[in-house]
Amino acid sequence: MTSQDLPTPARGTFVERAAKKAGALPPQHISDLTLQERKDAVTALGVPGFRADQLSRQWFGRLNDDPGTWTDLTGEARMTIAEALLPPLLDPVRTLSCDGGTTVKQVWRLHDGSLVESVLMRYPNRVTMCVSSQAGCGMNCPFCATGQAGLTRNLSTAEIVEQVLAGSRMLARGEVAGGPGRISNVVLMGMGEPLANYNRVVKALRLLTAEAPEGLGMSARGITVSTVGLVPRIGQLAGEGLPFTLAVSLHAPDDELRNELVPVNNRWPVAEVLDAAWEYARITKRRVSIEYALIKDINDQRDRADMLGRLLKGKLVHVNLIPLNPTPGSKWTASRPESEDEFVRTLERHGVAVTVRDTRGREIDGACGQLAASTA
């Protein structure tokens, strides 16, 4: 982890949980590189630069990860490129599915032994891929399994991109229930705080949205970046010129409670986080998503719903209410149905758009807050 990947130090008592063992990043991979960088890399290997275009069309356009079948490249070029620029990144160690095979969670072992997870969710009108940006997480939110595990290290750009490519290959090969398909949405809501790994995350998103052969050609509007509220990075993301959806993990409308539920609030309180979110919406013209896990008798009271509604009223915003998903050892549980219903009605009285999120993947510990990269 480098200093440029960390949020800027500021006031307050929050201290990001330090990495348990700062494993080295993996060797360079073509999914770390722009098309021009790939041309430079293959040229440095003594291979003509135009081969970079060919390998990119295979890797990103055709989703073909078997260099032995790249017959548009010479055998020597294939071997040279594969040895130098295609190191193994994600080793599948566990795959679980539910919802009739339309939700698939994969646990990956990285080159240094770190574990991360990604979740593919197929709906009737879209396919969403939830990917990780860090091995573990340093934000220390007490109701989240990932946060309680602590941070191991940031992922490389390629380790992020390859999670999406792995899901894309599964769909293309018809290995997900429902037949062949394409990923339409990517959400950085897996393990880690994406904006604490800012540079690599943004480069990964630029590669995902770049047209073939450079990238996958996804729509930036189909990508959501989640954050607990790293205010300087929200402002930086707004200036990237790409209309990603910003999702703010708020979970409480008041500083007293949010200081406990989301410790980074001690550094950037609710008002500052929301001000940054509204500025993001103004610049990008994209509606902000507010993520709010409903916890029984903790943050689900009607007065807190009213407080939240007053904060959000009239803004370009949508609230995702998340029934708290169970995690091992947690002292908290999901709200009662009647409390959830009253919370929704209170927000609606303020004119705030609100949805209770589908708890896809709960049975396989693949839902929000459950990702702990277990191999058991």
Phi, psi (rounded to 5 degrees) for 91: -105, 110
Q: Which of 130, 141, 144, 368 is catalytic?
A: 368
Q: Which of 16, 117, 159, 291 is catalytic?
A: 117
Phi, psi (rounded to 5 degrees) for 83: -70, -35
Residue 258 near residue 251, CB atoms below 8 Å: yes
From 365, 292, 373, select the one nearest 103 (Cα to Cα): 365
Quote the CA–CA distance of 337 and 192 in Å, as a whole number.
30
Residue 368 a catalytic site member? yes
Q: Which residues pair with 320 in a beta bridge?
A: 291, 355
Residue 260 a catalytic site member? no
SS3 288: strand
What value, to the nearest 5°, has the Cα angle with vertex 302 and ends 300 and 306?
Answer: 110
Cα–Cα separations (whole angstroms), residue 302 to 213, 257, 293 = 51, 15, 15
DSSP characters over 110-168? -TTS-EEEEEEEEETTEEEEE--SEEE-SS--TT-HHHHH-EEEEPPHHHHHHHHHHHH
Quote the CA–CA distance of 256 and 166 in Å, as a whole number.
42
Q: Which residues pair with 107 in a beta bridge?
A: 94, 117
Which two tokens mark 371?
A: 């990702």
Quote the CA–CA distance of 292 and 362 in Å, as a whole number.
17
Residue 135 near residue 153, CB atoms below 8 Å: yes
**Which residues are known catalytic residues?**
117, 368
